[in-house]
Amino acid sequence: MAGIFDSLAEPEPSAATAFAGNTIDRRSEQRTDASTPAAIADPAARYYLFRGDKALLRAEDDPLFTAAEAAAFGAAEDATVLLGWIPEGPRLAAAIPETAAEDAAGLAVSDLRSLAIAGTMPAGHLGALAQARSLVGWHQRHRFCAVCGTETKMAAGGYRRECPACGAEHFPRTDPVVIMLAVHPGGDEVLLARQKHFAPGMYSCLAGFLEPGETMEAAVRRETLEESAIAIGRVRYHASQPWPFPSSLMIGCYAEALSTEIRRDETELEACRWFPRDEVVAMLAGTHGDQLKAPMPMAIAHHLIRAWAERRL
């Protein structure tokens, strides 16, 4: 008798997406207020540093810095996040001033999207940078208590903020986003669209944030209907992707179209239409006659589209 997991793909599809290669052991049940000072004091500790929303890098895409270097660049110990541990030692993250290390030889800054597109950063570092950027950014944006307005303090290694006035506790959030590839009732076409800010010729999947009290499947149906007027029946999960812009989780799905007539949301979408399989294959290969393109491999949309085009579902 087949097991319930026997039909799952190996490796799991999520592993192919950018930012999904994080191997840090978070030890979430063991983090205390004493964990961060102890980690910083470990000679093997290394930091991921951010200047604004960009990562500080050494030559050859090395994003790690010692505790002494982090302090010299202006990283404050009481604003340092303890990401967790790998066999080589603790991994931490912090923000540094916008002007820090501007003139330091051999250093550069890069946004995470550019690093993912370039594809030269090891997956472990890229995933850890996503975790680090989301947490560092959350602390920068949530310094004050949402209940009483008092400035809060970091706790539990950076995974909580506590209000000294009213005692409220605040936790980092991850915003779920559904991204879906609607499949035509005939099975050999999919729904792709483009927004005005997309690169020229690029078409992608529809996407949207989950709303409170909504299931993943309901969000897929609602967003597809709102943006294209296509009614959706069954929904099938495919993969997910951490998306640190600033802190989302992309939930990739296939959606069964029950209708075919498109009435696009002209505020959201510049274009939206059905694409047959041979046209999608050409877009993925970069050989489309009208120079239409699919999203780049760093995006989960690319993997949703490719898996359908190559009949790997």
Phi/psi class of residue 183: alpha, beta or left (left: φ > 0; alpha: ψ in -120 to 50)? beta
What is the percent of the chain with per-residue pLDDT over 90, rounded to a whole number?
A: 92
Tokens of 9: 């793909």
Please give the CATH number for the structural domain made up of 13-141.
3.90.79
Give the pLDDT mean for 107-124. Answer: 95
In the predicted model, is pLDDT for residue 136 greater than 70? yes
In the predicted model, is pLDDT for residue 308 greater than 70? yes
Give residue 271's pLDDT band: very low, low, confident or very high (50, 70, 90): very high
pLDDT value, residue 60: 79
Give the pLDDT mean for 280-284. Answer: 98
SS3 209: strand
Give residue 243's pLDDT band: very low, low, confident or very high (50, 70, 90): very high
13-141 matches 175-309 in fold: yes
The Cα 68–Cα 10 span in angstroms is 42
The Cα 94–Cα 83 span in angstroms is 10
pLDDT digits (tens, 9 = 90+) for 86-98: 999 999 999 999 9
In the predicted model, is pLDDT for residue 16 greater than 80? yes
In the predicted model, is pLDDT for residue 152 greater than 70? yes
Burial category of 117 from C-beta neighbours within 10 Å (exposed 0-12, middle 13-18, buried 19 and up) = middle
What's 112-174 look like in SS3?
HHHHHHHCCCCHHHHHHHHHHHHHHHHHHHCCECCCCCCECEEEHHHCEEECCCCCCEECCCC
Q: Which residue has the tokens 């078409």?
A: 203
Tokens of 305: 């589209």
Q: Are 259 and 233 in contact (CB under 8 A)?
A: no
Give the pLDDT mean for 288-300. Answer: 97
In the predicted model, is pLDDT for residue 9 greater than 90? no
Torsion of CA 70, 20, 200, 108, to 10 degrees: 20
In the predicted model, is pLDDT for residue 61 greater than 90? no
pLDDT value, residue 182: 98
Tokens of 12: 């799991």
Give the pLDDT mean for 8-17. Answer: 93
Of 70, 202, 211, the closest CA to residue 132 belongs to 70
pLDDT value, residue 105: 86
Domain positions in the chain? 13-141, 175-309
Backbone angles phi, psi at 147, to 5 degrees: -90, -50
Q: Are 44 and 87 in contact (CB under 8 A)?
A: no
CA atoms within 13 A on the CB side of 204: 23
Q: Which residue has the tokens 């946004």?
A: 111
Say whether domain 175-309 belongs to CATH 3.90.79.10. Answer: yes
pLDDT value, residue 313: 84
Give the pLDDT mean for 282-302. Answer: 98
pLDDT value, residue 28: 92
Q: Are 63 and 127 in contact (CB under 8 A)?
A: no
End-to-end CA, the chain: 22
Give residue 7's pLDDT band: very low, low, confident or very high (50, 70, 90): confident
In the predicted model, is pLDDT for residue 1 greater than 80? no
Q: Which amino acid is at 60?
A: E
Lowest mean pLDDT, pick from 28-37, 203-212, 228-237 = 28-37
